[in-house]
């Protein structure tokens, strides 16, 4: 079946502009995660959605970052007033979270470059 999809694959923007990144999880997966990976670095957790519960926003680095998930499916990560340090690959993952398996499957990522 189809995996996690993300769009756009690449985004170049100017400092101070807002950007929206989209994630479409695997059908039937109830949980959705956003991570950030800077060049040569590990994964940084940003936010987590589980079903209709309130999201866990504990990883968002600043109030310029926000995310929503509509209808328990597609999610949008918004970065306002982008800064050069926001340049990274933004990864989305989804999981079923049934039977306590918690296996996360990643999308291809969006490479964000802030000039």
Partner 1 sequence: QKEVEQNSGPLSVPEGAIASLNCTYSDRVSQSFFWYRQYSGKSPELIMSIYSNGDKEDGRFTAQLNKASQYVSLLIRDSQPSDSATYLCAVNIAAVDMRFGAGTRLTVKP
x/- site string to partner 1, residues 77 to 96, per CB under 8 A?
------------x-x-----
Q: Does 112 bind partner 1 (CB under 8 A)?
A: no
32 Cβ neighbours under 8 A, 6+ residues apart: 23, 25, 48, 49, 69, 75, 92, 93, 94
Q: Does 26 bind partner 1 (CB under 8 A)?
A: no
* Strand, helix or coil for residue 26: coil
By CB under 8 A, name the binding residues for partner 1: 31, 33, 41-43, 45, 48, 50, 56, 89, 91, 97, 100-109
């Amino acid at each position: 079946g189809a995996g996690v999809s993300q769009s756009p694959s690449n985004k170049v923007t100017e400092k101070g502009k807002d950007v929206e990144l989209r994630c479409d999880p695997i059908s039937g997966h109830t949980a959705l995660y956003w991570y950030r990976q800077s060049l040569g670095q590990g994964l940084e957790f940003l936010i987590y959605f589980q079903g209709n519960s309130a999201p866990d926003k504990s990883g968002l680095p600043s109030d310029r970052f926000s995310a929503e998930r509509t209808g328990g499916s597609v999610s949008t990560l918004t970065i306002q007033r982008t800064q050069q340090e926001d340049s990274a690959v933004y990864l989305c993952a989804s999981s079923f979270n049934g039977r306590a398996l918690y296996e996360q499957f990643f999308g291809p990522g969006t490479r964000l470059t802030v000039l």
